[in-house]
Amino acid sequence: MESLRYKTAIVGASETTELGNIPDKTPFQLHVDASVNAIKDCGIDKKEIDGIATTMNPVALAHYLGITPKWIDNTQVGGTSFLIHVRHAAAAIASGLCDTVLVSMAESGKSRVGQSSNSNFSDSSLEGLRDSSFPGQFESIYGVYGPTTQFGLGVLRYMKETGTTHEQLASVAVAQRKWSNKVPRAMYRDLITIEDVLESRMICYPFHLLECCLVSDGGGALIITRSNRANNFAKDPVYILGTGESAETPIVSQMYDMTSSTAFKISSKKAFEESGLNQSNIDHLMIYDAFAHLPIYGLEDLGFVSRGEAGAFIEQGNTSPGGSLPMNTNGGGLSYTHTGMYGMFAIQESIRQVRGEASNQVPNVEVSFCQGVGGMFMAAASLIFTNSPPD
Amino acid sequence: MTDTSSAYDRPLPVPVHEDLSKPFWEATKKHELIMPKCNSCSSIFFYPREACPECTSMDLDWTEVSGQGRVYSYTHVRQAVHPYFQSENGHIYAIIELLEGPKIPSNILECEPEDIFVDMNVVATFEDLNDDFTLLKFKPGP
């Protein structure tokens, strides 16, 4: 099959008007806000949008916005879904299924507006812990449920095998706060030290509070179209150079190797191959960071450093402001925002950096790599963006 | 709906059986640990599935395993998501790599959280919740 390299471009990109604590808006209202913002961002006539992808019911959103699509995608594999939507949209546009796609994401992760609260168990209910699913039968009965208690399960083995230290794990949060320090929309901006991280409340050893993502409300949307019409909009196009996706396990305890993400390796390799680039060509990197170990796993599984080197690489400042590989420059899920499915926000920061309009702009970004994770190492996707026009 | 476990001294959720995994939980009631085994390629795997994940054969059986293994990795849950599991010192959630290969989630009993380490040898132990349910757990072992 022909490569997707340079076939499509992002022409519109925006987050919700507000971000963080939005107690008065349902997820649906946030979807509409983000979508309208993205439409305004590129100045497109809404009638030109003929494809829609989202994790909510795409029919409901399309009809609400007055869009009658020729193409829909409802892939829902956790927070990386929006990277996968971009990939699927690029393939659909390149093969002529449609011309211009809206990808929309929104969550009321903190305020939980309009949702029955199934993540906050009450003493009177065991619902959600009693079911015949694999987690219901074999995991939750041992006192775990969801990311805080399960996502980091492999880390102590990773640390033993590689010699990675608690200080290095903590340095992920420290490095990202250096970025968010200059990002007005970031939820947490105060600089922190490794001691601050290690002295914060222990949530689930070895993870302290500051090594876990925050919880927020918000959303974002993207408009993708053919590269050969991408110059007709308000801002310079951000071309899609490479894409990849993969899936590993619905059950984190049954990963093939708990010290490495197979899905990260497969999706990133595919994206690099498609783009014709390698790690040395990447000016800016986003790695979905629900917890502090994800950028460590990501740097290794994406091939930016060798096995066991990522902790020291981050601790030495290579991913911090002024470092050789600026990473998670919005502050990431640890400091910027994390509504539950963070992938859209990683994409948005890649786009801002490539456009040159980020709050904490890295000089001369031509190529940005964006890595997403879905669920707990359940699925993954990779996107490579550039502002450099095709030859 | 709830059962009392001496280990936590509080109500515990119990697994809901489905036909596929029912033999596993019937065996734990007899204090036996069994795993699905493929009669075609001899692989022993976890979790229970209708088809072998190695060769897709549906000619499967259950086989008793040693109950010996090592701590592949673990976490010390201090802030439980569910109030039934919240306790002053938290609890250990571990992945045990059995001698026979499969990795299985469990708790580690009879050991202070601070004394547990990756690669520690453990052996299966069984926690009878009531007449209907026995949970598989592990404790330090040979």
Does A183 map to a domain?
Answer: no
The pLDDT of residue A126: 56
Q: What average pLDDT score do residues A334-350 get?
A: 97
Report the range of poorest mean pLDDT among A332-346, A352-366, B122-136.
B122-136
The pLDDT of residue B39: 97
**Residue A262 C-alpha, separation from nearest chain B C-alpha, in angstroms:** 17
Does B79 map to a domain?
Answer: yes
Does A391 map to a domain?
Answer: no
Contact A138 B104 (CB under 8 A): yes
Q: List all residues of chain A from 179 to 208 with a beta carbon under 8 Å from chain B.
A: 201-207
Which helix (H) or strand (E) is A385 found in, with range?
strand A379-386
CA-nearest residue of chain B to A160? B118
The pLDDT of residue B89: 85
CA-nearest residue of chain B to A129? B13
pLDDT at residue A349 tops 80: yes
Residue A129: pLDDT band with limits 50, 70, 90: low
pLDDT at residue B66 tops 80: yes
Chain A residues close to B21, C-beta within 8 Å: 132, 137-138
Chain A residues close to B79, C-beta within 8 Å: 148, 201-204
The pLDDT of residue B82: 74
Share of chain B above pLDDT 70, in %: 90
CA-nearest residue of chain B to A249? B47
pLDDT at residue A95 tops 70: yes
From the candidates A125, A139, A202, A254, which should be mutated to test the interface with B, based on the most B CB atoms within 10 A?
A254
pLDDT at residue A127 tops 70: no
Residue B13: pLDDT band with limits 50, 70, 90: low
The pLDDT of residue B12: 60
CA-nearest residue of chain A to B49? A134
d(CA A83, CA A381): 6
Task: Please tell me the total count of domains within chain B.
Answer: 1
List the single residue in B12, B16, B75 with the smallest CB-CB distance to A153. Answer: B75
Does A182 map to a domain?
Answer: no
Domain span at residue A320 reads: 8-112+213-386
The pLDDT of residue A143: 85
Residue A122: pLDDT band with limits 50, 70, 90: very low
Does A117 map to a domain?
Answer: no
pLDDT at residue A380 tops 80: yes
From the candidates A131, A140, A144, which should be mutated to test the interface with B, based on the most B CB atoms within 10 A?
A144
Share of chain A above pLDDT 70, in %: 96
A293 near A284, Cβ under 8 Å? Answer: no
Does B7 map to a domain?
Answer: no
Chain B residues close to A251, C-beta within 8 Å: 47
The pLDDT of residue B15: 72
Does B132 map to a domain?
Answer: yes
**How would you classify residue A218: left for phi > 0, otherwise alpha for psi between -120 and 50, otherwise beta?**
left
Residue A130: pLDDT band with limits 50, 70, 90: low
Contact A140 B13 (CB under 8 A): yes
HEC assignment per residue over chain B: CCEEECCCCEEECCCCCCCCCHHHHHHHHCCCCEEEEECCCCCECCCCCCCCCCCCCCCEEEEECCCEEEEEEEEEECCCCCHHHCCCCCEEEEEEEECCCCEEEEEECCCCHHHCCCCCEEEEEEEECCCCCEEEEEEECC
In this predicted complex, what is the ipTM? Answer: 0.90
Structure confidence by residue, pLDDT tens digits, A13-34: 999 999 999 999 999 999 999 9
Domain span at residue B31 reads: 15-140
The CATH code of the domain that includes A353 is: 3.40.47.10
pLDDT at residue B11 tops 60: no
* Average pLDDT score over chain A: 94
Share of chain A above pLDDT 90, in %: 89
Contact B107 A142 (CB under 8 A): yes
**How would you classify residue B141: left for phi > 0, otherwise alpha for psi between -120 and 50, otherwise beta?**
beta
A90 near A377, Cβ under 8 Å? Answer: no
Contact B73 A203 (CB under 8 A): no
Token pair for A82: 């929006």
Q: Could you tell me which residue, A131 or A228, shows the higher pLDDT?
A: A228
Structure confidence by residue, pLDDT tens digits, A148-162: 889 999 999 999 999
DSSP classification of residue A46: G
A237 near A230, Cβ under 8 Å? Answer: yes
Does B4 map to a domain?
Answer: no
Cβ neighbours around B103 below 10 Å, total: 17
Q: Is the peptide bond before B47 cis (omega within 30 degrees of 0)?
A: yes
Q: What average pLDDT score do residues A104-124 get?
A: 74
Task: Please tell me the total count of domains within chain A.
Answer: 1
Nearest to A216 by CA among A15, A37, A52, A360: A15
Chain A residues close to B75, C-beta within 8 Å: 149-150, 152-153, 155-156, 204-207
Does B67 map to a domain?
Answer: yes
Does A365 map to a domain?
Answer: yes
Does B65 map to a domain?
Answer: yes
Q: Say how far residue A126 (Cα) sits from the centre of its chain.
A: 31
